[in-house]
C-alpha cells in the first residue's frame, strides 16, 4: 500500500507517495511539531510541549514531558503501538543546541508482519 509523503510535493500532476514506515515517521514528526490550536479543523491536534518555555523543558520533570509526548502519539497515530519516548544526545554527546532530541520507538503492523519502529526528532 502507498501513503502520501510529507511535505506534499506535486510532481507531474501527482502527490509523492511513500511506504508505511516512512508515513508513520512523517506523521509522528507532524504530531510532535504541531502546537495544539494550530489546525483550525482539529484544534486539539498536536502536543503540548509547545506550551512550555525552553527553560521549563530543562527544569521540569522529564517523565511528565515523555508521557505527554507519548500520549499525543497514542492519540493521533493509531498505526503505532507500544510507544516509548526517550531523550537522546546527538553524535557529539551534547543535546540538540536549540531544544530536545526525542527518540520514539514502538511497533506497527505491515500486513501480517509486526515491525519495529524507531526514529529521532529534533524539537525546538
Domains and CATH numbers, the chain: 3-123 (3.10.450.40)
Q: Which of 79, 81, 65 is nearest to 32 (CA)?
A: 65
Confirm if 106 and 114 have CB atoms less than 8 A apart.
Answer: no
Provide mean pLDDT across the span 105-117. 96
pTM of the full predicted structure? 0.81
* 27-83 per-position pLDDT tens digit: 999 999 898 889 899 999 998 877 765 555 555 677 888 888 999 999 999 999 999
pLDDT for res 12: 76
Residue 124: Cβ within 10 Å count: 15
**Residue 34 CA neighbour count, 13 Å, CB half:** 19
* 39 Cβ contact list (under 8 Å, min separation 6): 45, 46
List the alpha helices (DSSP H) in the chain: 20-33, 54-59, 62-76
Amino acid at each position: 500500500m502507498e501513503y502520501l509523503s510529507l511535505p506534499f510535493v506535486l510532481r507531474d500532476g501527482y502527490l509523492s507517495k511513500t511506504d508505511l514506515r516512512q508515513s508513520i515517521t512523517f506523521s509522528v514528526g507532524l504530531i510532535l511539531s504541531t502546537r495544539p490550536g494550530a489546525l483550525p479543523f482539529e484544534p486539539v491536534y498536536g502536543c503540548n510541549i509547545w506550551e512550555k518555555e525552553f527553560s521549563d523543558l530543562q527544569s521540569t520533570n522529564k517523565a511528565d514531558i515523555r508521557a505527554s509526548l507519548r500520549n499525543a502519539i497514542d492519540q493521533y497515530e493509531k498505526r503505532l503501538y507500544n510507544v516509548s519516548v526517550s531523550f537522546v544526545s546527538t553524535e557529539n554527546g551534547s543535546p540538540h543546541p536549540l531544544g530536545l532530541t526525542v527518540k520514539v520507538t514502538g511497533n506497527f503492523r505491515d500486513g501480517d508482519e509486526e515491525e519495529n519502529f524507531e526514529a529521532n526528532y529534533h524539537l525546538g
